[in-house]
Amino acid sequence: MRKPRHRRPVGLRDAASRRGLLFGSAVATADLVSEAFRAALLRDCSLVSAEYEMKWDAIASLGYGPADALVRFAREHGLAVHGHTLWWHGAVPDRLAGAAPQGFAAAAMDHLAATARRYAGQVASWDVVNEPLDLDHGRDDGLRASPFLDAFGPAYVGTAFEAAAEADPDALLVLNEMGLEYDSPDAERKRRAMLALLERTLAAGAPIHAIGLQSHIDAGHQPRENPGLRAFLREAASMGLRVLITEMDVSDWRCPRAARDAMVADAYRWHLGLVLEACPAVAVTTWGLTDARTWLSEHRPRVDGAPVRPLPLDRRLRRKRAWHAIAEALAAAPEAGAARPRA
């Protein structure tokens, strides 16, 4: 009798790939020490995103070693890599704090070119610019006050994408943002500002290929339907853009303890259902795979002090309702028409 082939258990990556999508998680090299975590990651994920170690400040302090190790692990296991992130106001090396715009511009361009070139052919997609908007900063264009804006002027997003395309012509280039997902007047204003930014940057010839929706969701506030987000994504699709969900997690900090797993699962189901239907999608990435390690433990602790439960797997890597809700949403997604970044 033929020996049964060793088959990997069916995971979220399989539900995603049946619809032409990638499913991934943010990881750190420290996560990969655990054999149990590696097994869970390889079962569920066809993509990894660096939670910290590919950022400018991380590379400035740690060197490229940790990022190289993440990329090496991904390549050894046939996983796609989503590069996070080349230019972000939240990841500027300390030595450049307060630098003169000219000096900052040279350093920022050197970093972007060197990093995108280093991983060309190994990274499927890049968050080229992260979080360009902050409407509380009072600019008519909604751009966030940042050293990148000071150094390059309001066209800096286009500058970044042109430089990234030159350094890695094959990567899918993503403009990543937070807070576009909510059902609120502020989120609607931010969506309008993002569409205007995309329109003028694309009109200037910049190679923006996709929008990254970070998707840090609050289970206590996530509506089943969100017409503003749906219209935004339809408009983005009409510009020829694709969408990636880049950092999804669902905070349960305000959920009643007994109802929280169901509320978190519903938020995954509704948000993924809406996004995957409204715009050609590439990948869905959660900001961590297991509740054992999530930034929300510190950022959004529960008022009752119980450990938070925002991710697909629990602290012992067991599947939760959220895992099944994601699997269902992926299975129900339209067949993705757009070309996929290579793994």
Residues contributing to the site for ligand G3I (CB under 6 A): 51-52, 55, 90-91, 130, 178, 214, 247, 295
Place of tokens 């991904």: 74
Q: What's the min distance (Å) between Cβ of 333 and ligand G3I? A: 24
DSSP structural state of residue 87: E
Smallest gap from residue 336 Cβ to ligand G3I (A): 24
CB of 81 vs ligand G3I, minimal distance in Å: 15
**285 prior amide bond cis, ω within 30:** no
**Minimum distance of ligand G3I from residue 314's CB (angstroms):** 19
Q: Which is nearer to ligand G3I, 210 or 333 (CB)?
A: 210
Q: Would you list the DSSP string of 237-250?
A: HHTT-EEEEEEEEE
> Which residue, 52 or 156, has its beta carbon nearer to ligand G3I?
52
Whether residue 234 contacts residue 202, with contact meaning beta carbons closer than 8 Å, is answered with no
| DSSP category for residue 52 | S
Least gap, CB of 94 to ligand G3I (angstroms): 11
Q: Which CB sits closer to ligand G3I, 91 or 263?
A: 91
Handedness of CA 155, 156, 157, 163 (dihedral sign): positive
Encoding tokens for residue 337? 């028409």
**Spatial distance between the Cα atoms of 312 and 325, rounded to a whole number of angstroms:** 9
Min CB(143)–ligand G3I separation in Å: 17
Whose Cβ is closer to ligand G3I: residue 58's or residue 71's? 58
Nearer to ligand G3I, 155 or 178 (CB): 178
Asked whether the beta carbons of 85 and 129 are under 8 A apart, the reply is yes
Q: How far is residue 327's CA from residue 331's CA, in Å, rounded to a whole number?
A: 6
Beta carbon nearer to ligand G3I, 77 or 293: 293
Specify the residue, 51 or 235, whose C-beta has the smaller distance to ligand G3I. Answer: 51
In angstroms, give the least distance from the CB of 259 to ligand G3I: 25
Nearest residue by C-beta to ligand G3I?
295
- 127 in Cβ contact with 212 (< 8 Å): yes
Buried b (16+ CB within 10 A) or exposed e, 62-88: eebebbbebbebbeeeebbbbbbbbbb
CA distance 86 to 278: 27
Asked if 264 and 219 touch (Cβ cutoff 8 Å), the reply is yes
In the bound complex, what is the minimum distance in angstroms from residue 103's beta carbon to ligand G3I? 23
Minimum CB distance to ligand G3I smaller for 55 or for 191: 55
